[in-house]
Amino acid sequence: MSAPVKLGLDTFGDITVADDGQPVSHAQTIRNVVEQAVVAEETGLSFFGVGEHHRSEFAVSSPEIVLAAIAGRTRDIHVGTAVTVLSSDDPVRVFERFATLDAVSNGRAEVVLGRGSFIESFSLFGYDLADYEILFDEKLDLFSRLMTEQPVTWSGRTRAALENVDVFPKTDAGLKAWVGVGGTPESVVRAARYGYGLMLAIIGGSASRFRPLVKLYHESLDAFGHSGLPVGVHSPGHIAETDEQAWDEAYAGFAAMNDTIGRERGWPAYNRMRFQHDVGPEGALYVGSPETVARKIATTVQTLGADRFDLKFSTGMLSHGHLMRSIELFGTRVAPLVHEFLAEGAPAPRS
C-alpha cells in the first residue's frame, strides 16, 4: 500500500434494544445512527457507511437521506452507502441523489453499488428475480455512463431508453464509486471493467480466501486500462475493553440475526461454538478488545493489500450505548494500533 489504510464504519441501522430490553423504534434508531456518525468523525475515522434494507430488522430504507443529515452534522468524514441496491433502483435517480449528497457534504459522498444480500426490494419495486443478473448488468452500465456527467444515450431491456439526456446536478469533482462484491469472480471483473473500487463483503470464513479475487481484480484493471483503484473490506465486529466482554455483549445479536436469516435460507441454528470460531483468526467477525481487533484488521489489510477496512459495527441486540462505546474504542484505540501493527509487519491475531 502506498498510503496508510483508511478505517471506517458501516451500519445497516439495525434495530437495537433500550436499557429495559425492549426494541428501539425505527425512528429513534435512525436518530441514533446520526449520533453514531458524529462520534465516528470526532474519533478521526475516515468513512461512515449506511446500508439500504427494506425489512423490519433494519431502520434505514433511504440511506441518502440519513447521510445528508450526517453531512450536516460533520465536516470531514466521508459518507456513503453499504450498499445501494442498484438492481432494484433507477440509475438516474441514484446518480442524482448522490450528486446532491456530494454537494451538501462538500465532496464527501461515496456510493457502493451492489445487488444486496436480501431480495425484498425486488418485489417491493416491481422487479422480477428472474432478471437478477441482467438488472444489475444493465443498470451498472447506465450508471457508469452517467458518471461521466455528459449527455447519455443508452438503451436496454430493464428501463426506458435515453437519447442524449443530461442529468443534474453536476458535481464539483466527480463522484467516488465502488462495487460491493460477495465473492464471485464475475463481480470482481465487472468492477474492474467499469473502473470502480472493489469493496469485498467478507462476512464468512477467512479473509485469506479472498486473495485470488484481489489478484483477479488487479489483473483485470490492467487488462481494462485502469490503475490506482482501491480495494476495501467490509466485515462485522464489535469492540469492548476485553475480549470476554466484547464476546458476551455481541453474541446474542449475532445469534439472533443468523437465526432469523437462517430460517429463511435453511441454515443450521447458530451456537456459541460457531461464534467463538468466527471471532478467531480464521473467522470473519472482528469482535474483541482493541488489541485483538486491531491485530486481526492489520492481518487482513496486509493479506489482501487493502486500502480501506470498514467495520460493520451494529448487529441487533446491542444497545446504542454499547455501539457508541465500540465506535469510540475503534477510533481512539483500534485505529492507532492498526497503523502501528502494519508498520511492524502485521503480527498474526492471537488464537
CA angle 11, 255, 258 (to 5 degrees): 70
pTM equals: 0.95
| Predicted local confidence at residue 2, as pLDDT | 52
| Predicted local confidence at residue 20, as pLDDT | 83
Q: Where are the domains of the chain?
A: 6-344
**Within 44-90, where are the H helices?**
63-73
Amino acid at 124: L
| Predicted local confidence at residue 349, as pLDDT | 59
pLDDT band of residue 1 (cuts 50, 70, 90) is: very low
Please answer whether residues 344 and 269 qualify as being in contact, where contact means their C-beta atoms are separated by less than 8 angstroms. no
Distance CA 164, CA 159 (A): 16
> Averaged over 245-250, what is the pLDDT?
97
Topology classification of domain 6-344: TIM Barrel (3.20.20)
- Low-confidence winner among 173-187, 225-239, 260-274, 331-345 (lowest mean pLDDT): 260-274
Share of the chain above pLDDT 90, in %: 89
In order, the DSSP letters of 10-29 are EE--B--B-TTSPBPPHHHH
